[in-house]
């Protein structure tokens, strides 16, 4: 039986596991983890009876685990993932752009290609895409802004990288491998709040998109073992001050000895003076601390738009957690939902989204979409 407190299940969709779910209008869009499942479009007008209306498959050796939909356009990533069958070339990574004027009949407009593994995470505001591609000459993913005014012909507007990434330009990284790389840019106004994996997070000024400018950053790994997954600004001030929730992800630790004893968690960071971000609070699910845990026990990510005092967060094997952030120094849980495992594996709540009706969409990494409401 599912474990729930303050959360009620409204609907359930049996589908392949996903990395992301977003809702635009009456449709939910799911980016899947494993090929051949690429992207699924679901009619959720009646949330009690979600219905698949379109499916896009991809070759083995790639995945399209991230998706955005807005303004009649759907954008999905293509990233190398797993091994393709012997002798098969899955093609290059990047972004694929679709016309979804009719979401039931998505029509491909362009496959924008890039180097290396392709694009990992990105956001899209209906005009610009803020992406994390691998580009020749750089080590690890960088920040890039694409203009999709003409979605059939995306144009690069600007790029930014952490000093040390541009090896072709003579820079030398101070870290090993791809430890410092762009993971997830989120735009608010003329700022990009960007997680940078084991490089922490950076705040970028994009008032001139052609020349993103570093405002500040903070990196706490080490001493903490986990990479930074997302940096999400809180939309409205709390007690006259501005804050950001920063989620570390419970995967790929720098310190494998410390990691089982300290599962990843969420931080509250004061950005009232954005040139000097200051951590002031944190939250971990009760019962996780004090024992050794396998990876994907702790935090993954909160919702990417934080408008109110209560924030849903996907917490891997701990399911959905709804956090009250009214006291930034003492975040507390007010509700939770741990679904039954439908995959034969541990529950792995990978992404969460809240639609305009207040319904919560929780996608499991291995199988199934839950549609929930906070009661």
For residue range 106-148, list pLDDT tens digits in order: 999 999 999 999 999 999 999 999 999 999 999 999 999 999 9
Query: What pLDDT, on the 0 to 100 scale, is given for residue 256?
Result: 86
Is 39 inside any structural domain? no
Measure the CA–CA gap between 153 and 54, rounded to whole angstroms: 24
Is 63 inside any structural domain? no
pLDDT tens for 91-117 read 999 999 999 999 999 999 999 999 999
> CB-based contacts of 322: which residues, under 8 Å, 6+ apart?
6, 7, 310, 311, 312, 313, 333, 334, 335, 336, 374
Confidence of residue 357 (pLDDT cuts 50, 70, 90): very high
- Quick check: 44 and 354 in contact, CB under 8 A? no
Q: For 268, what's the count of Cα atoms within 13 Å in the CB-facing half-sphere?
A: 23
Structure tokens at 300: 């993954």
Measure the CA–CA gap between 209 and 212, rounded to whole angstroms: 6
Confidence of residue 1 (pLDDT cuts 50, 70, 90): confident
Query: What pLDDT, on the 0 to 100 scale, is given for residue 258?
Result: 83
- Quick check: 128 and 94 in contact, CB under 8 A? no
Is 280 inside any structural domain? yes
Express as a percent the part of the chain with pLDDT over 70: 100
Measure the CA–CA gap between 248 and 136, rounded to whole angstroms: 28
Measure the CA–CA gap between 213 and 176, rounded to whole angstroms: 25
Note down the domain range covering 245: 3-22+109-374
Q: Which of 40-54, 248-262, 298-312, 314-328 has the lowest mean pLDDT?
A: 248-262
Q: Which of 20-34, 63-77, 79-93, 162-176 has the lowest mean pLDDT?
A: 79-93
The mean pLDDT of the chain is 96
pLDDT at 83 over 90: no
Is 325 inside any structural domain? yes
Q: What are phi and psi of 108, to 5 degrees?
A: -70, 130
Measure the CA–CA gap between 136 and 157, rounded to whole angstroms: 17
Give the pLDDT mean for 23-45: 98
Is 227 inside any structural domain? yes
Q: What angle do CA 371, 50, 300 make, to 5 degrees?
A: 35
pLDDT at 165 over 80: yes
Q: What share of the chain is helix, strand, coil (3-state, %, to 5)?
A: 0, 50, 50
pLDDT at 261 over 90: no
Distances (CA, A) of 82 to 77, 220, 252, 253, 326: 15, 30, 16, 20, 42
- As for how many domains the chain has, the answer is 1
Distances (CA, A) of 244 to 18, 110, 183, 303, 356: 26, 35, 17, 12, 22
Give the pLDDT mean for 218-224: 95
pLDDT at 166 over 90: yes
Measure the CA–CA gap between 48 and 9, rounded to whole angstroms: 9
Is 147 inside any structural domain? yes
Query: What pLDDT, on the 0 to 100 scale, is given for residue 274?
Result: 97
pLDDT at 237 over 80: yes
Cis peptide before 223 (omega within 30 of 0): yes
Query: What is the domain-level CATH number for residue 288?
Result: 2.130.10
pLDDT at 260 over 90: no
Confidence of residue 87 (pLDDT cuts 50, 70, 90): confident
Is 304 inside any structural domain? yes
Helix (H) / strand (E) element for 75: namely strand 73-81
Query: What pLDDT, on the 0 to 100 scale, is given for residue 23?
Result: 98
Is 70 inside any structural domain? no
Q: Which residues pair with 143 in a beta bridge?
A: 160
Give the pLDDT mean for 145-167: 98
């Amino acid at each position: 039986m599912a474990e729930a407190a303050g959360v009620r299940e409204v609907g359930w969709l049996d589908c392949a596991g996903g990395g992301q779910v977003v809702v635009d209008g009456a449709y939910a869009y799911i980016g899947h983890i494993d090929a051949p499942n690429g992207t699924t479009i679901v009619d959720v007008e009646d949330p009690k009876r979600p219905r698949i209306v379109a499916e896009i498959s991809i070759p083995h050796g790639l995945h399209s685990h991230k998706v955005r939909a807005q303004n009649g356009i759907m954008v999905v990533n293509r990233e190398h993932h797993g091994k393709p069958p012997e002798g098969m070339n899955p093609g290059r990574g990047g972004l694929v752009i679709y016309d979804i004027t009719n979401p039931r009949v998505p029509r491909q407009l362009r496959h924008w290609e890039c180097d290396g593994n392709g694009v990992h995470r990105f956001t899209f505001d209906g005009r610009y895409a803020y992406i994390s591609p691998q580009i020749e000459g750089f080590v690890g993913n960088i920040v890039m802004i694409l203009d999709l005014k003409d979605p059939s012909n995306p144009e690069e507007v600007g790029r930014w990288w952490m000093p040390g990434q541009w090896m072709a330009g003579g820079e030398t990284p101070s870290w090993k491998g791809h430890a410092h790389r762009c993971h997830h840019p989120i735009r608010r106004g003329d700022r990009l709040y960007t997680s940078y994996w084991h490089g922490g997070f950076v705040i970028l000024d994009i008032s001139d998109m052609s020349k993103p400018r570093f405002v500040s950053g903070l990196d706490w790994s080490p001493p903490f073992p986990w990479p930074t997954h997302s940096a999400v600004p809180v939309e409205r001030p709390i007690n006259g001050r501005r804050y950001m929730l920063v989620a570390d992800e419970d995967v790929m630790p720098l310190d494998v000895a410390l990691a089982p004893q300290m599962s990843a968690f969420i931080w509250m960071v004061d950005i009232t003076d954005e040139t000097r971000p200051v951590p002031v609070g944190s939250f971990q699910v009760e019962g996780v601390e004090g024992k050794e845990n396998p990876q994907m026990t702790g935090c993954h990510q909160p919702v990417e738009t934080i408008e109110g005092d209560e924030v849903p967060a996907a917490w891997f094997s701990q399911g959905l957690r709804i956090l009250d952030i009214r006291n930034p120094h003492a975040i507390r849980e007010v509700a939770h939902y741990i679904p039954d495992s439908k995959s034969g594996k541990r529950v792995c709540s990978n992404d969460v989204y809240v639609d305009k009706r207040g319904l919560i969409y929780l996608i499991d990494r291995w199988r199934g979409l839950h549609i929930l409401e906070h009661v």
